A and B are shown apart, each in its own frame.
Chain A
Amino acid sequence: MNISILLTISMFLISLLGLSLSFIAFFYLSLIKKYDKLRAEEERMKFKIDKHHDEIIDKARSRARLIIEKATEFDEETKKKFANDLELTRAKLEQNYQEVFTTTEKKAEAVIDQLIIDLEATLTADFKNSEKEILAKFEKSLETYKNEYLTNLNQRGEKTIKDAAFTVLGKSLNLAEHEEIILKAVSEAKAQNLI
């Protein structure tokens, strides 16, 4: 075979290889871009969760205020005592909540990391899947986890606030106040012809 023909074929193959490598590099660059975007989304999600935590604590405060305002049966001194007790419990609740939150946050990070590892594994193992399909799947998993996490966080918050209110109310009352509340309750029931 003519050397010039061989040279031409070699040049053509090298060009083809270069083109393929450029295409793969471009594909990876695109993936890296998407990957960065997902990292940014993860950061945004963390910020949102922090904000949500603050909202739950604020809600606890406003609910506590409402409970105090609604407790018309108590005199001012009892209300003040109740408010102090509630504030102490709220502070403890916030501390506990922060601990739970930190643990859950770590869990969230682990899950997100796992999702990214899965994504990388999928990219390596199943190169046939289109980039769009893989990323969509990943985003969907992230979204599902985020929703589950926020719902769980919300439920925990509700339960803790409820438990705290029940505990604080029971502890805030002395025997005389209990007796007064009982007599007031039966008197009002009688006045309303309930009994």
Chain B
Amino acid sequence: MDFQLPTFIKTTEDKNECNIYLDLLEKSLFQNNSQEILHDKIPSFFSDVITKDLAQTKLTLSDYLTKIKTIIGSLEPVSLTLAIRPSVAFQNTLYNWITSHLSPKAILDLSYDPSLIAGVIITYQGKYHDLSYKNTLTQYFNSKPN
């Protein structure tokens, strides 16, 4: 069963935003105003994708929400700390890299620290690797070469 919505979630920010809308829809199930919420309260981009997903999968909104929340919950954040603020294009490049090399379920958890000079600190599945120039230079100076 193919859902379109998860393919638009590339970062933890996207994930959090999406969860807010899905929670709104979940509440609407008890208030019998799902259509109103879907079209008036949720940004058109999200509501269009959800509508398409519902039409394609032929699931009820309740079942769809249960399944999509499970899928979104299983996404694996890859924490990357960068010395630059990445452009949208570079975020896409990084997203493509992590989904093809680490896991198709991977999403970006980006943060910014200019003191790194260059490079990246990566945390994934409990592993931490400081691949920044700050770290390399600090090690270099600590080794006190002549």
Q: Interface of A with B (CB < 8 Å)? A: 59, 62-63, 66-67, 70, 158, 162, 165-166, 169-170, 173, 175, 177-179, 181-183, 185-190, 194-195
A interface secondary structure, majority:
helix
Residue B93 at the A interface, CB < 8 A?
yes
Are B82 and A182 closer than 8 Å at their CB atoms? yes
Once the chains bind, are B133 and A189 in contact (CB under 8 Å)? Answer: no
Nearest-neighbor residue (CB-CB) of B125 within chain A: A195
Q: Are A67 and B122 in contact (CB-based, < 8 A)?
A: no
Flag whether B97 is at the interface (Cβ < 8 A). yes
Q: Is B84 a contact partner of A178 (Cβ separation < 8 A)?
A: yes
Of A59, A170, A189, the contact of B114 (CB 8 Å cutoff): A170
Interface residue tally for chain B (C-beta within 8 Å): 31
Q: Specify which chain A residues have a CB less than 8 angstroms from the CB of B58 in the assembled complex.
A: none
Given A186-B120, A195-B122, 11 extra CB contacts under 8 A: A59-B146, A165-B137, A165-B141, A166-B137, A175-B87, A179-B90, A183-B93, A186-B97, A186-B101, A190-B101, A194-B129
CB distance from B133 to the nearest CB of A (A): 6
Q: Are B145 and A186 in contact (CB under 8 A)?
A: no
Give A162 to B118 CA distance when docked, in angstroms: 16
Task: Say yes or no: A178 contacts B83, CB within 8 Å.
Answer: yes
Name A181's contact: one of B80, B87, B119 (CB within 8 Å). B119
Smallest distance from the beta carbon of A82 to chain B beta carbons, Å?
Answer: 11
Please name the residue on chain B nearest to A59 by beta carbon.
Answer: B146
CA distance A162 to B141 in the complex (A): 7
Do the beta carbons of A182 and B120 come within 8 Å of each other?
yes
Verify A169–B129 contact, CB threshold 8 A: no
* B102 touches which of A177, A181, A195 (Cβ 8 Å): A195
Q: Are B117 and A170 in contact (CB under 8 A)?
A: yes
* Nearest B residue (CB) for A174: B84
In the complex, which of the residues B90, B93, B122 contacts A189, with contact meaning CB atoms closer than 8 Å? Answer: B122
Contact partner of A67 (CB less than 8 A), chosen from B118, B140, B146, is B140
Assess the A166–B120 pair: CB atoms within 8 A: no
Give the residues in chain B near A189, CB-CB below 8 Å.
Answer: 122, 129, 131
Nearest 8 interchain pairs by C-beta: A185-B131, A178-B84, A170-B117, A182-B120, A181-B118, A185-B119, A162-B141, A195-B124
